[in-house]
Structure 1
Amino acid sequence: MRNLQGRLDLCSVNTATLGHREPLSVTIDRIAAAGFGGIAPWRHEVENANVAELARQLRAVGLSVTGYCRSTYLPATSREQFAANIDANKAALRDAATLGARCFVMVVGGLPEGSRDLDGARAQVIDGIGELLQTARDCGVPLALEPLHPMYAADRAVINTLAQALDICAELDPEHAGNLGVALDVYHCWWDPALRASIARAGQDERLLAFHVCDWLRETRDLLLDRGMMGDGVVDLSGIRRSVEHAGYDGLVEVEIFSKENWWRRDPDDVLRICAERLQNVC
C-alpha cells in the first residue's frame, strides 16, 4: 500500500466536500494551493461557467481531474424522457473530455416517479449505459459506475453493490475495451460482506477507475448530508485502501464528504487542512 505521508499529490478533493459555496474557479485555486494533486468537479459548477477556461485553469495549476460528477439519472417514465437523459449525459461526457477527466461518474438513478418496477429500472440503466459507450469511447472518457448504498435504490441508484456494477461491466464490455469501469465510494460499500472479493475481481478485470473516501458516522443524522470526516466513524479506511491498491489501483484517493450541518459550515481552508491530515494519518 502506498504511503500517503507527504504525498498530497496522490490525493484529490471532490468539490462537494467544500459545499459548493464558491465559484469553481476559486475552489480550483484553493485546492491547488493546499497541495492536493487532483479535483473532482460537479456538473452544475462547470455548466454555469466557461468549460474551456476552467480546463486551462486546471492545467495551469497542475490539478488532474479524477472524475466528473455526475450523470443525469437514466430511468424514465417515457421513451422521450429516456432519450433526453441520454442526450444530457452525452453532452456531459463532452465537457468531461474538455476538462481532461479520468472518468465520468455514473450515479444511474432510481425508480421513475410513481414506479415500483425495480427490474424495469435496472433494465433501463443497462440500456442507457450501452447507448453511452460509443460517446465515452469517442471522448476518451470512461464511464465509472458508482454503486450506491441500498437505501438510495428508490431515488438515486438501482446499482447497489460493487458486484452488481461489475456484472453490468462484464455484460456490456466483455472485451475490456477500457470504456467502462467502477467508482468505489467507501460510504456506499463499506458494509458489503462481498466487498473484498468484489475489489479483487474489479482489479483482475481492470475496472477500478476511482476511489472515494469519507467515513460512516455511528449516529448518522442524515443519510445523505451527514457523512463523516475520515477517522470520525466506523469504516476501516486503511484496510479498504489496502485491498483497492493490492488489486492494482494506482489513481488518486479522492475525498468526498456531504455534510450540510458540519463540514459545509466550516472555513474551506480548515476543511482542506483537516482532509490532508486525515488522508495522511487515517487512510
Structure 2
Amino acid sequence: MTGSVDLRGGDWLDDNRANWDERVPIHVASDFYDQGPLRVGGSVLDPISRAGVGRLFPDGLASARVLHLQCHFGSDTLSLANLGATVVGLDFSRPAVEEARRMAAELDVDGRARFVEANLYDARHVLPEPESFDLVFTTWGTIGWLPDVAEWARIIAWFLKPGGRLFFADGHPAAYVFDGADGPGGMPTFQYPYAKAGPDVLDDDSDYADADASLVNARTWEWMHPLDEVFGSLRAAGLTIDDFTEHYEVPWQIFPATVPKGDGMFGWPAERWLPLSYELVASAPAS
C-alpha cells in the first residue's frame, strides 16, 4: 500500500537512491559480484533465474527482447545479452547505469544492451514502447524498495507483448518477518509483521556484498509485500499467473544460520524451516 507516498519522488526515493548510489563501487569491487564469467561470454545468473529463463525459452534467447527492471549495474542484464537476448535495463541509480553501460561496451554487447536511468514509476515515460517485450525480468531485492506493487504490475503489463511473460524471483515475505540471530550462526527472530501498510524506515550502514563496508547513506525505506498482494496486483493488471514455486535457498546469506549450498546459494543447515524465496511466471493475454 502506498499511503500518502508520492511515487514520483520524496524522501523515500531520495534516501533509497543515495543508498544504492553508494553501494555501486562497493559491489563492483566485491567478490560477491564476480564479473569474470561475463568477460568470457558467460552468465552470472543465479540457479533459480537461470533455470526459470531456460524453461521459458528452451530454444534460447536469440530472438527475445527483454526488459530488466531494477537492474542495478546490469550483471544479470548482460548475462541475458550474452545468452543472445536484446535487452533494456532500467535502474534509478546513475552510478549503476554508468557502470552497466561501461561494462556493456567492454563486452562489446552495447548494440544489444541498452541501459536507462529512471525511477521505476517513470518507466512508461522514458521507455514509450508499449507491448514491445517478450520478457520482463526482475529478480532479488526489487519490490521491497517499492511502495506500490499494483502500479509495478501495471507497468509490467504495459510493456509485455501479447503472450509475453514476466519472470520474477525474490526473497519470500515469510522469511522477511525475521531478522537478527540469537548468537553467531543462531536462528533469526521475529522482527517485522507480515502485513504492514507503511514502510519500515531503517538506519543500517552494512552491506550484504562486503562485510567491511560502512555506508554513509544508511537510511532506507522498505515495504513488505505479502504474496496475496503481489498475486492480486498482477491479476488486476490483466496478467495470468502461470507458475509459482517456493524455494528454500537464496543467492546471498540471508541469515547467519544459513549455510552455503553450492553455486552461490544459501539455505538452512538441516530442516527446511520455511521458504526463503519464491519465483513466479505471469503472462499477458495472447491477443
Report the TM range for the smaller structure's normalisation. 0.3 to 0.5
Q: Which has the larger share of helix?
A: 1
Question: What TM-score, normalized by structure 1, do the two folds share?
Answer: 0.39
Q: Which has the larger share of strand?
A: 2
Question: What TM-score, normalized by structure 2, do the two folds share?
Answer: 0.38
